[in-house]
Amino acid sequence: MEELRNYVTFFMPFSFDDESSVFLGENKAWDLYSKNKVQTSKYFFKFISDKLDPAKGEECQCCRYVLNEASDEYQKLIKDKSFSITKTQFFDKFEFVIENFDLFLFSTGIGLIGMRVSFSETIPKVVSSASYLIKKVAKVKFLDADKNEYIPLEMVKSLLSRTISYNVEFYQFANEGQERANTFSYIECETDENYEEDVFMLSHNYDLGFTYNPEIDRGDWLYRAASDVAWGITDEALSCRVFVNETNASFRQGTFRKNVLDMYVTMYALLLHQKYFLYDFLTRVGVESNSNDLKTLSDFKVDLAKFHNNFLFDVITEVPQYQRLYDRIVKIFRIKDLYEDAEKPINRLATLQKEHDEEEDNAHDKAVNRILSLLAVLGVISALCDWIQVKESFDGVWNILSFNGLSTIAFGVILIGVLIYVVYTEFKRKKK
């Protein structure tokens, strides 16, 4: 009898300094996923796959890594180790192994680490119940064979602190105690009966206490990609249930399993990045929501523009099974709604910039008017001086006392009139 394959990857998001490179360089713990010529985006358009290809150098905007099986970290955490969660409401024990860890680093400063586990039980409802517990990564505790205790979130924090030099912050958008993993599950079943219920449970990570009602629970979450493949999509999970039969054995074992792990997981990580970047962006903007600092808002505008150009795409491929699943996840994640929310403070920037420019223009106008007023006064004084010189040059002709007195008075009146006019004009402008 064929061994049925199952695994669930628990993705946990974090932020890191976006000035740090997506390339880890020489690292004994982490290997590039593409090291062994693995294709993770061959069905995507080239302008997208280039952003995921480390061989493209600076064009690469995302690197995927896997824990090196020869590393000390792999030997200590994973090799020949089994784990269990005990004393649950419906089971005495869930047993599983950790297959590996996936690490995604994006140029936006958002990262994902996925803990991929495989359960000893292959019944979908049992896997769903176990996932329900483990996805609460800050609360659940599991044990190894030596009774050592682990908390998933603390485990990956410790792993990253030992293996990469970046400063990371997990779940920066979540309230303390509400850290929950997004899950990607793959499970093979010998029967096609009750597939809708299985997919519903897996994609919602419900435990056995939940009663499925097909009349109530139908929705956009279900996508039957083929007669033997069904996907379930929710805000927190993506699940793939495969009906095992002789007809699909060769393709499933040789191609489909590999494509799911290599390409579907990568596609899901890209979509998780879209969601988590926007969560993080809205959290950062929220802190500065009342800010009138144009530089701060301008920095946000640049961040959002880079994200849009590098990672926000409506169409990624012409291969229908990938594009259709991608479209459904975008809809469930409400990416477009999140992006519109993110744009609102950026639109406010345009208003603030206009107000700022108007204030600068007004200040400039005031300065110019003051200069012109001063020039007017100086002009009057200059004219008076010129008149005195002219008057003195004709002193022999106009040397009449009475005329001298009248001319002096006349020029005094003219000077006072000009000064009054300048002061009145300035006062009237200020009043406006």
pLDDT digits (tens, 9 = 90+) for 135-194: 999 999 999 999 999 999 999 999 999 999 899 999 988 888 889 999 999 999 988 888
Percentage of the chain exceeding pLDDT 90: 53
- Whether residue 26 is predicted with pLDDT greater than 90 in this model: the reply is no
Q: Looking at the domain assignment, is residue 341 inside a domain?
A: no
Q: Looking at the domain assignment, is residue 348 inside a domain?
A: no
Q: What is the structure's pLDDT at 400?
A: 47
pTM of the predicted structure, to 2 decimals: 0.81
Residues 250 and 394 in one domain: no
Q: Which of 333, 357, 380 is the last residue of a domain?
A: 333
Q: Which of 282, 312, 333 is the last residue of a domain?
A: 333
Q: Looking at the domain assignment, is residue 411 inside a domain?
A: yes
Beta strands in 68-206 (DSSP E): 83-86, 93-106, 110-119, 142-144, 149-150, 168-170, 182-189
Residues 264 and 385 in one domain: no
Kindly indicate the confidence band of residue 401, based on its pLDDT and cuts at 50, 70 and 90: very low
Residues 65 and 163 in one domain: yes
Q: Kind and range of the H or E element at 351?
A: helix 335-393
pLDDT digits (tens, 9 = 90+) for 217-268: 667 889 999 989 999 999 999 999 999 888 888 888 888 999 999 999 999 9
pLDDT digits (tens, 9 = 90+) for 189-209: 988 888 999 999 999 999 888
Q: What is the structure's pLDDT at 406?
A: 54
Cα–Cα dist 163/160, whole Å: 5
Residues 312 and 396 in one domain: no
Residues 372 and 324 in one domain: no
Cα–Cα dist 207/85, whole Å: 14
Q: Looking at the domain assignment, is residue 401 inside a domain?
A: yes
Q: What is the structure's pLDDT at 355?
A: 58
Q: Looking at the domain assignment, is residue 355 inside a domain?
A: no
Number of independent structural domains in the chain: 2
First-last CA distance in the chain: 91
pLDDT digits (tens, 9 = 90+) for 29-86: 999 998 876 778 889 999 999 999 998 888 899 999 999 999 999 999 999 999 998 7
User: Which residues, including other chains, have CB under 8 Å from residue 156's CB and lie 6 or more apart?
Assistant: 12, 101, 113, 115, 170
> Which structure tokens are listed for 283?
């959290």
Residues 185 and 258 in one domain: yes
Q: Looking at the domain assignment, is residue 263 inside a domain?
A: yes
Q: Looking at the domain assignment, is residue 10 inside a domain?
A: yes
Q: Looking at the domain assignment, is residue 339 inside a domain?
A: no
Query: What DSSP line would sit under 50-65, residue for residue?
Result: GGG-GGGGGG--EEEE
Q: What is the structure's pLDDT at 267?
A: 97
Residues 284 and 221 in one domain: yes
Q: What is the structure's pLDDT at 17?
A: 83
Helices (H), 195-334: 195-204, 214-217, 249-251, 257-259, 265-287, 294-311, 320-333
Q: What is the structure's pLDDT at 51?
A: 93
Residues 306 and 206 in one domain: yes
Kindly indicate the confidence band of residue 290, based on its pLDDT and cuts at 50, 70 and 90: low
Q: Which range among 123-132, 364-373, 407-416 has the greatest average pLDDT?
A: 123-132
Residues 379 and 325 in one domain: no
Average pLDDT over residues 329-335: 96
Residues 178 and 224 in one domain: yes
Residues 310 and 394 in one domain: no
Residues 267 and 139 in one domain: yes
pLDDT digits (tens, 9 = 90+) for 83-109: 998 767 777 788 999 999 999 999 999
Among 119-123, 155-159, 300-304, 345-349, which stretch is predicted with the lowest mean pLDDT? 345-349
- Domain holding 287, by residue range, is 6-333
